[in-house]
Amino acid sequence: MPVLVMKFGGTSVATLDRIRRAAKRVGREVANGYDVIVIVSAMSGETNKLVGYVGETSPLYDAREYDAVVSSGENVTAGLMALTLQEMDVPARSWQGWQVPVMTTSAHSAARIEEIPTDNIMAKFGEGMKVAVVAGFQGVSPEGRITTLGRGGSDTTAVAFAAAFDAVRCDIYTDVDGVYTTDPRIADQARKLDKIAFEEMLELASLGAKVLQTRSVELAMRYKVKLRVLSSFEEMSDEAGTLVCDEEEIMEQNAVAGVAYSRDEAKMTLISVADRPGIAAAIFGPLAEAGVNVDMIVQNISEEGRTDMTFSCPIDQVARAEKAMDEAKESGEINFREMVADTNVAKISIVGIGMRSHAGVAAKMFSTLRDEGINIKVITTSEIKVSVLVDRKYMELAVQSLHDAFELEKA
Ligand code: ASP
Ligand code: MG
């Protein structure tokens, strides 16, 4: 039998009634002739609650016990989903990560899946079981301890199972009906995309679109897993949702597929650093060692041998960045006059594989922002994206005007 992976997010299993509705969808896919692997998240709000318990009990917690606690939400929904399916006369059983076993690294709370042996579950399918319900987000380390995969990790569990079992598709059921050209809460013109390329989805996910965990898209791209994002609250149909797929499968390609934003960025500037060979290494080496995720970098033209160096990083890493730079200054590795943090910025990005073949996309972005009177503070580009930092108060305006300028409301 062909294998289908179906993943249900927290809102889709938030109550017993919703679990029943999800189970009905699973039942229909079984009737369509699939052996189904169902990956479940915890009921919505549950993981946050568990994370809160851990923090209250032990501020400097042991990461292994954190994982033991926060992985438990998925155990509940896996068991309940299996019971619900059994009540509907669908042969099903639940599996916790360690039972499969989902083998991961020992990086607790951010583990990576290393291997998923298929023999246990395939043997059960061979005996007539129709649905394997697997607790998402969790695995087991080489030391035999329970691990978790980072917030949103059930998406990655689902894609990893689809790859391991060579599934026909991986359907991700969530509370939105697909991937949009931008956040509909900001631009009401936002349009649901029927298809989006892996590369575009990867950029959008890492630039702030929250529909899929970035890691899951990386995996899907690497193993060519057909991913579909769809709502568990709408009627089932073959065209529902958004298909994340190879770019070859997308016929028409706009230059820009979507606009992403993130309000979690900060801009840091080191004023008056000596411009000499090795200065970038002397700055960004210590930042990397301190675990600061630097994204954009600009070095100004130097005057009399001194220059300003600007970079962006997540807002919650500003303190860490400042500490690393102060230490580097004290040790004499670098020398700057002042360090300025601007935490009132937002990053706006346009993304599209069509940029590879369309000229003038960046220029159009810049003139659109100019026409709105929005000043650009930092720019970065890649083959398929252009990102700018702007004052946070212009975030909505920037997203809306770019969405209009690139006519993303039109297919
Ligand atoms: N329950 C976990 C979380 O909230 C994993 C997931 O739902 O994907 O992060
Ligand atoms: Mg999620």
Which residues neighbour 208 within 8 Å (Cβ) at sequence distance 6 or greater? 260, 261, 262, 264, 347, 349
Which residues neighbour 239 within 8 Å (Cβ) at sequence distance 6 or greater? 194
Encode pLDDT of 127-182 as tens digits: 999 999 999 999 999 999 999 999 999 999 999 999 999 999 999 999 888 999 99
What average pLDDT is seen over the chain?
94
Q: Is the peptide bond before 184 cis (omega within 30 degrees of 0)?
A: no
- pTM here is 0.87
pLDDT at 302: 86
**Pairwise CA distance, residues 165 & 362, whole Å:** 41
Ligand 1 within 6 A of CB of 152: yes
Domain spans of the chain, in order of start: 3-175, 259-405
**Fold (topology level) of 3-175:** Carbamate kinase (3.40.1160)
Q: Where does the pLDDT of residue 59 fall: very low under 50, low under 70, confident under 90, or very high at 90 and above?
A: confident
Residue 238, pLDDT > 70, answer no
Residue 247 vs residue 95, higher pLDDT: 95
Q: Which atom of ligand 1 is nearest to the CA of 48?
A: 4
Q: What is the largest CA-CA distance in the chain?
A: 79
**Fold (topology level) of 259-405:** VC0802-like (3.30.2130)
pLDDT (average), residues 213-228: 95
pLDDT (average), residues 355-361: 90
Q: Give residue 137 CA to ligand 1 midpoint distance, Å.
A: 6
Q: Which atom of ligand 1 is nearest to the CA of 154?
A: 8
**Pairwise CA distance, residues 175 & 172, whole Å:** 10
The first and second tokens of residue 157, run together, are 């569990």
pLDDT > 70: percent of the chain: 99
pLDDT at 286: 96
pLDDT (average), residues 210-219: 92
Identical fold between 3-175 and 259-405: no
Q: Give residue 246 CA to ligand 1 midpoint distance, Å.
A: 26
Q: Where does the pLDDT of residue 207 fall: very low under 50, low under 70, confident under 90, or very high at 90 and above?
A: confident
Q: Give residue 187 CA to ligand 1 midpoint distance, Å.
A: 27
Lowest model confidence (mean pLDDT) among 156-170, 230-244, 357-371: 230-244
Residue 326, pLDDT > 70, answer yes
pLDDT at 18: 97
Ligand 1 within 6 A of CB of 157: no
Encode pLDDT of 263-303 as tens digits: 989 999 999 999 989 999 999 999 999 999 999 999 988 88
Ligand 1 within 6 A of CB of 206: no
pLDDT at 105: 97
Q: Give residue 150 CA to ligand 1 midpoint distance, Å.
A: 8
Residue 223 vs residue 248, higher pLDDT: 223
Ligand 1 within 6 A of CB of 137: yes
